[in-house]
Amino acid sequence: MNKVNVDEEWRILIGGEHISTTDHYDIVDPNTTEIIGHAPEATVEHALAAAAAAKEALSSWRALSMDERCEYIRKAADAIESQCEDWVDLVQAETGATIKVARTMQVAGAFVDRFRYYSKPFEMNEPLPPLYSAASALAPESLITGNVLRQPAGVVACITPYNFPLVNVAGKIAPALAMGNTVVIKPAPQDPLAIIKLGEVLNEVFPPGVVNVIVGSSPEVGAALVDSKDVNMISFTGSSQVGAKIMEAGGKTMKRLLMELGGKGALIMTEDCDVQAAVGGIASVWGFHSGQICTAPTRVICHREIYEPTIEALTAVSEFMTLGDAREESTLVGPVITETHRDRIEAFIQSGINDGAEVIVGGDRPQRDGFFIAPTLLAGCTPEMHVVQEEAFGPVVVIMPHDGDGHAIELANESDYGLFSYVYAGNTTRAYEIGEQLESGNVALNSIAPHMYAPFGGFKMSGVGRDRGKWGLEAYSEIQAINWPS
Active site residues: 260, 294
Number of Cβ within a 10 Å radius of residue 87 = 21
Q: Mutual orientation of helices 110-117 and 165-178 as an angle, nearest 10°?
A: 0
Q: How far is it, in rounded angstroms, from Cα 419 to Cα 439?
A: 9
Angle between helices 66-83 and 193-203 (to 10 degrees): 130
Report d(CA 57, CA 79) in Å as an integer.
Answer: 22
DSSP 8-class letter at 105: I
Angle between helices 240-250 and 219-227 (to 10 degrees): 40
180 Cβ contact list (under 8 Å, min separation 6): 61, 62, 64, 66, 69, 151, 152
Residue 174 · residue 183 · CB < 8 Å:
no
Cross-strand pairs, 422: 267, 444
Three-class SS of residue 156?
A: strand
Query: Would strands 256-260 and 233-237 be described as parallel, antiparallel, or unpaired?
Result: parallel
* DSSP at 137: S
Contact 155, 126 (CB under 8 A): no
Three-state DSSP at 471 gives: helix
The CA distance from 38 to 102, in Å, is 21
Name the amino acid, one letter, at 283. A
Nearest to 130 by CA among 140, 142, 141, 145: 145
**Rounded CA separation 434/272 (Å):** 14
CA distance 300 to 279: 10
Contact 287, 332 (CB under 8 A): yes
- Round to whole Å and give the CA distance between 212 and 209: 6
**Which residues, 6 or more positions from 352, have their beta carbon under 8 angstroms from its beta carbon?**
378, 381, 385, 386, 387, 398
- State which H helix or E strand residue 92 sits in: helix 88-95
Contact criterion met (CB below 8 Å) for 37 and 10: yes
Q: 441, 456 in Cβ contact below 8 A?
A: yes
- Host H or E run for residue 230: none
